[in-house]
């Protein structure tokens, strides 16, 4: 199985740290943020990795990661020319994924404790559809919140005023190559971006969106507070 790390974005919430360097290159613990995702993939046996980056700091990514040999993986890069949403960034991975092949997607600023191996194995056994990882949080209003029905998610509500569960959808997703056809069917949101929640809700509407729940800590290290907290754990 292959892995995709989405590491575009402007990192406006971390300005001025991100004035001259992409946020995924900021240090978290002893290594840059982006390298934690690479390590998670490596430990799960995923050694072919595509990293989608923005134009900012593209040269630094290559200087840092190169071919991935130092990390025991094979890395290629794809540049997202403009900010168009997570689903748009994911769409750039289409040439990287073989038709019929399953793959795992990480948002580069998602840092977490759990190993991916068990979740990846479960998705390998899943006949059709997509799979997402959830985490119980105290403030679900800030996130995409799943509406759960047994082993499936029947829909995801984006930043609801009255959340129907205490869980959020983390930036850890699993798809097969049909996801690119799904992305072709969605329309830009009010902010002009292709939203990953809309993609996942297509699967949910078909009863094909399953989930697992993270046991350990998780954060999206996109704010000063979460970046500081993550650094203290890694």
- Secondary structure of 201-225 in the HEC alphabet? HHHHHCCCEEEEECCCCEEECCCHH
Peptide bond into 65 cis (omega under 30): no
* Per-residue tokens: 141: 């209003």
pLDDT in the model for residue 232: 81
pLDDT in the model for residue 138: 92
pLDDT in the model for residue 84: 87
d(CA 169, CA 53): 22
Name which of 8, 31, 11, 29 is nearest 20 in CA terms: 11
To the nearest 10°, the Cα dihedral for 114, 115, 117, 119? 20
pLDDT in the model for residue 57: 86
pLDDT in the model for residue 15: 86
| Beta carbons within 10 angstroms of residue 184's beta carbon | 10
User: To the nearest 5 percent, what fractions of the chain are helix, strand and coil?
Assistant: 30, 30, 40
pLDDT in the model for residue 119: 97
pLDDT in the model for residue 60: 93
pTM: 0.94
Q: What is the fold of 2-232?
A: Spore Coat Polysaccharide Biosynthesis Protein SpsA; Chain A (3.90.550)
- Average pLDDT of adjacent 10-residue blocks, the chain of 234 residues: 90 82 89 96 97 90 95 96 90 96 96 96 95 95 93 94 94 96 95 94 96 94 84 80
d(CA 33, CA 11): 13
């Amino acid at each position: 199985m292959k892995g995709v790390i989405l590491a575009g974005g402007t990192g406006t919430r971390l300005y001025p740290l991100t004035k001259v360097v992409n946020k995924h290159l900021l240090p978290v613990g002893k290594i840059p943020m982006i390298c934690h995702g690479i390590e998670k993939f490596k430990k799960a046996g995923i050694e072919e990795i595509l990293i989608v980056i923005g134009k900012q700091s593209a040269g630094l990514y290559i200087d840092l990661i190169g071919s991935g040999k130092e990390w025991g993986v094979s890395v290629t890069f794809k540049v997202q020319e403009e900010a168009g949403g997570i689903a748009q960034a994911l769409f750039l991975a289409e040439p990287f994924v073989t038709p019929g092949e399953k793959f795992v997607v990480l948002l580069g600023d998602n840092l977490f404790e759990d190993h991916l191996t068990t979740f990846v194995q479960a998705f390998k056994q899943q006949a059709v559809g997509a799979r997402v990882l959830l985490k119980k949080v105290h403030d679900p209003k800030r996130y995409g919140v799943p509406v759960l029905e047994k082993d499936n998610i029947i829909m995801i509500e984006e930043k609801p005023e009255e959340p129907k569960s205490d869980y959020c959808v983390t930036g850890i997703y699993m798809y097969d190559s049909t996801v690119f056809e799904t992305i072709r069917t969605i329309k830009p949101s009010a902010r002009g971006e292709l939203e990953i929640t809309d993609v996942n809700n297509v699967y949910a509407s078909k009863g094909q969106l399953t989930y697992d729940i993270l046991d350990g800590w998780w954060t999206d290290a996109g704010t000063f507070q979460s970046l500081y907290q993550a650094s203290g754990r890694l």
